[in-house]
């Protein structure tokens, strides 16, 4: 007995119910009328009962039970992600050499291999400094500029976490002596080895970066300095653009000198050795202007 047959069987004594419901009538029309009166449950029963072998619908030849068609809606296609504009690969040779190994390098074109056209190098001396180095790092990060830091061994010893932050940000770390002595070119080879060697070891221990570039304090070069630098496998790096920011000539003066830079120039500024607020403000204005001129910054 099907579920619908259970509803179809009514007490024979209750003739009024039989007459109203009409389930004793085996015709499909009567059964549909009865099921309409019984509500949604009746429609479900009709659908189920009409597919059975004992259903009057199946008994009538040529009759096909109606079924609701299945609609397969197409899935929406995912929106394709825009293809990023390819950028030129950064200039990161594994090892640089110099066209003139015995002379300090003042222009990027003096390096082998040379960097791409329309590139300049921003070099920053005398840090790390607890106040100015973080501000310089934040500014460089804002403008996505990689720089080259020539740091002092004594400052590295005092501020190791700042040194590590410079390295973690992807900037180049270089040797700028242990104590930044004046008249550096007058020192003996023994004194030079101490200043350069101690800074070399300190920087490597703290940052995990073995310096491959060296800058003499104040640009005081001598044949002896270049020889000791070569003993440590480093290249001597000088500069082409010097705004003399260490003398605090004014933000406008520093910015003007920096923005006049040309392709291949090595720029010099400072993040240590005194109040560098003018330097930070000048860089904030100069970096966007240099980029607008089509120049790109590279780290050594």
Catalytic residues: 125, 270
CA angle 59, 60, 63 (to 5 degrees): 115
Report the C-alpha gap between 253 and 129 in whole angstroms.
23
Bridge pairing between strands 148-151 and 119-127: parallel
Helix boundaries (H) for the chain: 3-8, 15-21, 28-38, 40-49, 56-59, 132-142, 153-158, 160-168, 189-207, 223-231, 251-259, 277-292
Report the C-alpha gap between 73 and 287 in whole angstroms.
55
Alpha-carbon torsion, ordered 205, 214, 221, 270, to 10 deg: -100
Report the C-alpha gap between 115 and 266 in whole angstroms.
12
Residues 125, 127, 128, 131, CA torsion sign: negative
Residues 107, 111, 114, 115, CA torsion sign: negative
Q: Shortest CA distance to 239 belongs to which of 279, 200, 266? A: 266
Q: Shortest CA distance to 199 belongs to which of 219, 224, 228, 227? A: 228
Q: Which two tokens stand for residue 170?
A: 């992807």
* Helical axes 189-207 vs 223-231, angle rounded to 10°: 40
Q: Which two tokens stand for residue 162?
A: 């700042």
């Amino acid at each position: 007995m099907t579920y619908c047959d259970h509803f179809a069987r009514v007490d024979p004594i209750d003739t009024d119910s039989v007459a109203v419901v009409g389930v004793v009538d085996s015709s499909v029309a009567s059964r549909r009328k009865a099921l309409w009166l019984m509500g949604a449950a009746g429609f479900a029963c009709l659908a189920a009962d009409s597919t059975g072998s004992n259903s009057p619908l199946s008994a009538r030849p040529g009759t096909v039970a109606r079924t609701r068609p299945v609609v397969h809606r197409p899935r929406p296609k995912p929106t394709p992600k825009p293809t990023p504009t390819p950028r030129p690969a950064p200039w990161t040779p594994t090892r640089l050499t110099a066209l003139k190994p015995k002379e300090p390098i003042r222009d990027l074109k003096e390096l082998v291999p040379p960097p791409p056209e329309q590139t300049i190098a921003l070099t920053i001396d005398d840090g790390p400094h607890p106040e100015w180095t973080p501000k310089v790092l934040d500014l460089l990060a804002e403008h996505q500029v990689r720089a080259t830091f020539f740091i002092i061994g004594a400052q590295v010893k005092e501020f190791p976490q700042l040194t590590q932050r410079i390295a973690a940000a992807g900037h180049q770390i270089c040797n700028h002596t242990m104590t930044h002595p004046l008249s550096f070119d007058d020192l003996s080879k023994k004194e030079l080895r101490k200043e350069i060697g101690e800074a070399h070891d300190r920087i490597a221990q703290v940052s995990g970066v073995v310096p491959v570039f060296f800058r003499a304090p104040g640009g005081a070069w001598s044949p002896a300095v270049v020889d000791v630098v070569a003993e440590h496998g480093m290249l001597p790096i000088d500069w082409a653009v010097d705004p003399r920011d260490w003398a605090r000539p004014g933000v406008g003066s520093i910015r003007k000198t920096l923005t006049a830079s040309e392709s291949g120039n090595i720029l010099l500024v400072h993040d240590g050795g005194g109040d560098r607020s003018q330097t930070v403000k000048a860089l904030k204005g100069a970096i966007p202007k240099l980029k607008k001129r089509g120049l790109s910054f590279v780290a050594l």
